[in-house]
Structures are given as C-alpha cells and as structure tokens.
Amino acid sequence: MIRLTDVVKEYPNGTHALNGLSMEIQDGEFVFMVGPSGSGKSTVIKLLIGEIEPSQGRVMVNGFSLRNIKEWQIPHMRRTVGVIFQDFRLIEHKSVYDNMVFAMRAVGAGPKEIKKRIPYCLHLVGLESKSRRHPSELSGGEQQRVAIARALLNNPSTIIADEPTGNLDPARSLEIMRLLERINALGTTVLVVTHEKDLVNRFDKRVIMLEQGRVVSDGKGYYGRKI
C-alpha cells in the first residue's frame, strides 16, 4: 500500500513542490496521477522510490516508512517497486536479455533466479522471441515493453509508470496501457503518471489530480471527485 500523509517537500532552492499532500493507494489498485507541469507529480515519484525525503509528513510504501528508512532497508524497499520510465533507459550495447541480467544482478539475484525469471517476464510482455535483439533493433513500443519486463523482474508488488507512453504513437500507447491492465489483473498495484488526458479518458480507472502540490480531485474519470 502507498500512503502519503500531509507531505510537504521544499527543495534547497526554496521551491515548494508539495504543500500538505495526502493520498492513499490500496494494494491491487490501478490509478492514474495527472496534473499540469509543476504540480508535483515528479516529486511524488521521487518520494515513492526513496530518491528524496519529505520535508514534513509521512510517506509509506509497502510497509516501509520513507521518512526514517535505514540505509540498509532501501534496497529491500526498492525490490517491492518496479519503475518504468518514459525514456526506457535501456543499455544500447547490450541485448534485451543482457539488459535484464544487468538489472537482476544489480539487486543481488543469483544465476538460478535469473534463468527462471527473465524468460517469464519476457513472455508476459510478448517478447520472448526477441531476447537477443539490441534496443536499436526494436520499435519504440517494443523497447517500452522491455522496460516493463525489466520492472517486473523482482516480482514487485507495485509498478510506477512515469509517462510510459510519452514517446509512442496513439496505437502503441493504447497497447502499453492494455499491457499494464493485464499486469494489474495479476495482482500488481499500478500507478501511471501521465499528462495524456485522451488516453486516461479511455479507461474507467481512479484518477488523482494534482495542482500546486496538492490533491484537488480523486475519483473515476479524468477530473475525478473534487476534494
């Protein structure tokens, strides 16, 4: 479960990114988070993956309190959260399979776990036949599916997708969202951060909208339920 309670985030340059933000996402939910540039979406993501700490308030992610998390706990917390980025972040000179191996070794996975998990995750995204291709040999949609498979490697309970369709055409964007729906149906919590209103409107999901570092609506539909 994700819970932010009265969270304030002020950066060293004086920017107030979050101003008493509170939100809660239950296990197994599929949620969109939307809002204009500067509304605090990127700051929320950084808080949820332990990249930054809140100035005030409490951030809980899958049982970990990120306000006072110990250094040794951070890798354990991050194994519960898979992150998908807009720019894919694939290593160009490595094959799809080796990109996956690199990600698993980075968190200390052993050879048996690697051999078992990678084919399964590639199968989930329909790319088992392209494991030896390099990123440059794949389409944008295929590269994003590799990024999704990589996010699933550690069997996380939560997936955070940061503008996962920002570099894709409408057809590929819809394909990626349908894939995230299937992953959610397997029991994984999915949080999609996006500015694509038309895409959000195609799905009957909960939508949390941010403005000026606060939640201003929360509910079904693009504008959700006003707070």
3-state secondary structure of 81: strand
Report the distance separating Cα 142 and Cα 126, nearest Å: 9
Report the distance separating Cα 194 and Cα 13, nearest Å: 26
Q: In what order do the strands lie in the sheet with 64-65?
A: 16-25, 2-10, 56-61, 64-65
Q: For residue 157, give the nearest of 7, 48, 42, 22 by alpha carbon.
A: 48
Q: What is the pLDDT of residue 222?
A: 61
Please list, in sequence order, all residues whose beta carbon lies within 8 angstroms of the beta carbon of residue 187, skipping any fewer than 6 positions away. Answer: 28
- Report which secondary-structure segment, H or E, holds 196: none
Q: What is the pLDDT of residue 226?
A: 57
Report the distance separating Cα 86 and Cα 210, nearest Å: 20
What tens-digit pLDDT sequence spans the chain (227 residues)? 999 999 999 999 999 999 999 999 999 999 999 999 999 999 999 999 989 999 999 999 999 998 888 888 888 888 899 999 878 889 999 999 999 999 988 877 889 999 999 999 999 999 999 999 999 999 999 999 999 999 999 899 999 999 998 888 888 889 999 999 999 999 999 999 998 888 898 899 999 999 999 999 999 866 555 55
Helix spans in the chain (H) = 41-48, 74-78, 96-105, 111-124, 140-152, 170-185, 197-200
Please list, in sequence order, all residues whose beta carbon lies within 8 angstroms of the beta carbon of residue 2, skipping any fewer than 6 positions away. Answer: 23, 24, 25, 48, 60, 61, 62, 158, 189, 191
Report the distance separating Cα 70 and Cα 206, nearest Å: 32
Across-strand partners of 193? 33, 162
Please list, in sequence order, all residues whose beta carbon lies within 8 angstroms of the beta carbon of residue 128, skipping any fewer than 6 positions away. Answer: 119, 122
Decide yes or no: CATH 3.40.50.300 for domain 1-80+191-227: yes
Q: For residue 97, give the nearest of 79, 124, 121, 80 by alpha carbon.
A: 121
Report the distance separating Cα 222 and Cα 33, nearest Å: 10
